[in-house]
């Protein structure tokens, strides 16, 4: 029996799970990843979905690259501030916007396609809550880093290390979520066609 709240099993909770169980990703064996793009039902929505995920991965990695450049003394505090703020804001806004559309528009439609999809999309929606909690913590540590950078009292190195730990945790959760979501969304689009989601 599957559980998305961890009451019966923590193995499915984002941060603990290694992937989706076969009963949740029941269409996965029928639609191997390598065949997705050549399938007749692979259309604009699936392509856009994968593109957004790719962009989120890239934007998040860029935030890590910037803060690590500062930690490695490749850039100074002024260069960090200039690069860090717009990149982090862009990443977090895109992430939040994407999850809102999924929760409010697309996930309800997927649940209506087939009752066997409900548990999987409930799990993905629970993922969004955990990712949002991590996002809020990341923002708090970003503010602490910016405050430390604007002061002369020291502490900016420690603040950068702490922030790096938070953003890496957020990206670890996000990577697992994006991959698992693709294994539910794309096979469902190929099985049912994209017209069912419009």
Residues that bind Fe ion (CB under 5 A): 102, 181
Please report how close the Cβ of residue 171 comes to Fe ion at its closest, in angstroms: 14
Torsion of CA 177, 93, 197, 188, to 10 degrees: -10
* Cα–Cα distance, 98 to 102 (Å, whole number): 6
Please report how close the Cβ of residue 177 comes to Fe ion at its closest, in angstroms: 6
Nearer to Fe ion, 102 or 156 (CB): 102
Least Cα distance to 151 among 84, 77, 86, 71 occurs for 77
Nearer to Fe ion, 37 or 51 (CB): 51
Please report how close the Cβ of residue 148 comes to Fe ion at its closest, in angstroms: 32
Instruction: Please enumerate in sequence order all residues whose Cβ is within 8 A of that of 171, keeping only pairs 6 or more positions apart, or say none.
Output: 60, 61, 64
CB 17 within 8 A of CB 165: no
CB 188 within 8 A of CB 174: no
Nearer to Fe ion, 44 or 73 (CB): 44
Please report how close the Cβ of residue 162 comes to Fe ion at its closest, in angstroms: 26
Nearer to Fe ion, 84 or 107 (CB): 107
């Amino acid at each position: 029996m599957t559980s998305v709240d961890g009451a019966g099993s923590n193995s499915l909770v984002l941060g603990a799970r290694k992937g989706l169980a076969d009963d949740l990703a029941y269409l996965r064996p029928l639609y191997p990843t390598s065949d997705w793009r050549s399938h007749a039902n692979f259309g604009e929505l699936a392509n856009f979905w994968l593109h957004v995920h790719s962009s989120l991965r890239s934007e998040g990695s860029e935030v890590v690259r910037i803060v690590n450049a500062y930690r490695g003394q490749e850039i100074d505090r002024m260069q960090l501030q200039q690069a860090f703020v717009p990149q982090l804001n862009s990443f977090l806004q895109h992430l939040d916007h994407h999850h809102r559309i999924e929760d409010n528009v697309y996930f309800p439609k997927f649940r209506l396609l087939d009752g066997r999809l409900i548990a999987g999309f409930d799990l993905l929606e629970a993922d969004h809550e955990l990712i949002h909690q991590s996002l809020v913590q990341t923002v708090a540590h970003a503010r602490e880093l910016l405050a430390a950078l604007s002061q002369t009292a020291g502490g900016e190195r420690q603040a950068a290390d702490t922030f790096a730990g938070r953003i890496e945790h957020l990206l670890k959760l996000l990577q697992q979520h994006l991959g698992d979501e693709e294994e539910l969304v794309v096979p469902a689009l190929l099985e049912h066609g994209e017209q069912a989601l419009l």
